[in-house]
Amino acid sequence: MIWEQVLEKFKEVFGGEGDIRIYFAPGRVNLIGEHTDYNGGHVFPCALTIGTYAVARKRDDKKLRFYSMNFEKAGVLESSVEGLKAEETAGWTNYPKGMIWAFGEKGMKAEQGFDLVLYGNIPNGSGLSSSASVEVVTGFLLKDLFDFEVSNKEIALIGQFAENRFNGVNCGIMDQFAIAMGKEGNAIFLDTADLSYEYAPIVLKGAKIVISCSNKKRGLSDSKYNERRSECETALSELQEVIGIETLGDLTEEQFKQYQSAIKDEVRRKRAKHAVCENQRTIRAVDALKKNDLKQFGALMNESHISLRDDYEVTGTELDTLVEEAWKINGVIGSRMTGAGFGGCTVSIVEDGAVDTFIREVGAAYEKKIGYAADFYVVEIGDGPARLA
């Protein structure tokens, strides 16, 4: 068991005495609905069985001691629950520190510190939300260690608040919500405008979800993510001069065609077009899934990638190569980039009999063109955060 190895590392680094607790929060993949979550649209993510393991023990003083098995060279990084602020030199610890800070901002101040060892088996920088997974597992352990009255949904919102305000990434709610509210065997059809949601069973008869990791690292805060968000906000304000909407997600495709001339800049028009059409695609995709029409769901995944490539311009050579090579394989039902883009991963639905061929042929073509290898993960849909021991 992975958590047993993390527990052993905790005992090695911090000692084995006292009330030691073990937690897990998943990563997530978004099946369709990309860059819609900050535009008031729908998303369709699911939690995965890979994620972040945390072993923690409350202290009697204010000290925080962090150790990551993913960044062992950094050693033990120390801080305090007092005067928390994001620091470049703090690296990955800015995510748990951000959650402690955000809980305090919401009236749940941790008066004592704790020792923490983390291990994530989500590929780092892959776009499967390793940072949001760290945030949610930290929120969950804070709730448990300090007896805070807070729901998983509230932990998701606090995670987004921490990422926005502490770490300076203007992310939407999808990642934290999908992780905190995950349910085995189901994706979450979430309306980000009002956080209404429903669980939708993912029944892939004779098919698997395959994640292809480009191994091109990307950082959200230093990518063009915030730029895209700003372009959409400007486009929205221009549209609001001619039609009474609160978000781009309020528009149908027909309404967008009618009013798009209000957007003064062609680039902003393309960004808004993606946000509107991707939202409608997501609604249609979930409807197709409810009708067991996997072929239509896959076709909409493909359309999503084309829109992200041409209108939103967030794919890049690596992700385009993975998707275009996937489309060549018999037995691939649908394939698209997932996550913020600019690197990270694609998600594909692949018939069981084609999975080995997919990994072999897409992998070979990718390495030949890009010059380094991609990694492939056949994943399962898992639950949200939990205390394991």
Three-state secondary structure call for residue 23: strand
Q: Is 191 tagged catalytic?
A: no
Angstrom distance (rounded) from CA 369 to CA 216? 14
Three-state secondary structure call for residue 245: coil
**Which among 37, 175, 191, 311 is annotated as catalytic?**
175
Q: Which residues of 66-84 are buried (b: 16+ CB within 10 A; e: fewer)?
A: bbbbeeeeeeebebebeeb
* Beta bridge pairs of residue 208: 350
Q: Which residues of 95-113 are buried (b: 16+ CB within 10 A; e: fewer)?
A: bbbbbbbbbbeeebebeeb
Q: Are 139 and 155 in contact (CB under 8 A)?
A: yes
Alpha-carbon torsion, ordered 193, 198, 199, 201, to 10 deg: -110
Three-state secondary structure call for residue 308: helix
* One-character DSSP codes across 202-224: ---TTEEEEEEE------TTTTT
Angstrom distance (rounded) from CA 114 to CA 119? 16
**Catalytic center residues:** 175
